[in-house]
Amino acid sequence: MTTRFSLAELADMLNVPVQVVRRAVEALAREEALTAESFQYMDRNWRIAPSDVKRVQEWIACAHQRGQLEPAAVRRTSHVKRKQVLSDSGPDGV
């Protein structure tokens, strides 16, 4: 199963407000620039595949350079924090 990120998780990783991530994801979806692994469910909720994180990050950086985002909305987009999910099993996988 592929790990997918919510808008809030992605906003935390990219260090930007959720509204900025939502705007980026919805714009990329309209342009059909997201992979089939990212999808919208229940109206406004999104699950973003790891392969699309870089696209979202680049969209935010380009929108910021074009002046389409408020300067305070983008604090830093130079890196992505990595989310590591640990299982509840022991070191032997039991």
What does the pLDDT look like over 2-39, one tens digit per residue?
688 899 999 999 888 999 999 999 999 999 988 888 88
Helical packing angle, 7-14 and 50-65, nearest 10° = 60
Assess if residue 53 is contained within a domain: yes
Average pLDDT estimate for 38-42: 82
Assess if residue 84 is contained within a domain: no
Global pTM reads: 0.69
What does the pLDDT look like over 44-61, one tens digit per residue?
788 999 999 999 999 999
Assess if residue 51 is contained within a domain: yes
Assess if residue 85 is contained within a domain: no
Assess if residue 88 is contained within a domain: no
Q: How many domains does the chain have?
A: 1
**Which residues form the domain of 25?**
7-73
Assess if residue 18 is contained within a domain: yes
Mind giving me the DSSP string for 13-69? HHTS-HHHHHHHHHHHHHTT-S-TT-EEETTTEEEB-HHHHHHHHHHHHHHHHTT-S
Assess if residue 83 is contained within a domain: no
Q: In the predicted model, is pLDDT for residue 77 greater than 60?
A: no
